[in-house]
């Protein structure tokens, strides 16, 4: 089974309606999967940005 992808776009506005920033993210359309047929259990592994920065700083420190 092929899982298709979809782009999600969002425009962040300020109080006056001016554009602050444009945001985009790519998501998988996982709703096409059936539990027990395509997968048994699933989870999303997400690291906080601070943890990634600490890891990169430590890796740079160790060269």
pLDDT tens, position by position, for the chain (63 residues)? Answer: 567 888 999 999 999 999 999 999 998 876 666 656 666 676 778 888 898 899 999 999 998
Q: Could you tell me the residue range of the domain that residue 22 belongs to?
A: 5-62
In degrees and rounded to multiples of 5, residue 23 shows phi and psi of -125, 145
pLDDT of amino acid 9: 94
Distance between CA 56 and CA 50 in Å, rounded? 10
Beta-sheet pairing, 5-13 with 19-28: antiparallel
pLDDT of amino acid 3: 74
Q: How many domains in the chain?
A: 1
Distance between CA 20 and CA 61 in Å, rounded? 35
pTM of the predicted model over 0.85: no
């Amino acid at each position: 089974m092929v899982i298709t992808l979809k782009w999600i776009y969002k425009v962040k506005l300020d109080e006056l309606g001016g554009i602050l920033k444009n945001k985009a993210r790519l998501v998988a359309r996982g709703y096409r999967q059936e539990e027990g047929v395509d997968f048994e259990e699933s989870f999303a592994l997400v690291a906080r940005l601070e943890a990634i920065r600490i890891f990169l700083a430590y890796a740079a420190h160790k060269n």
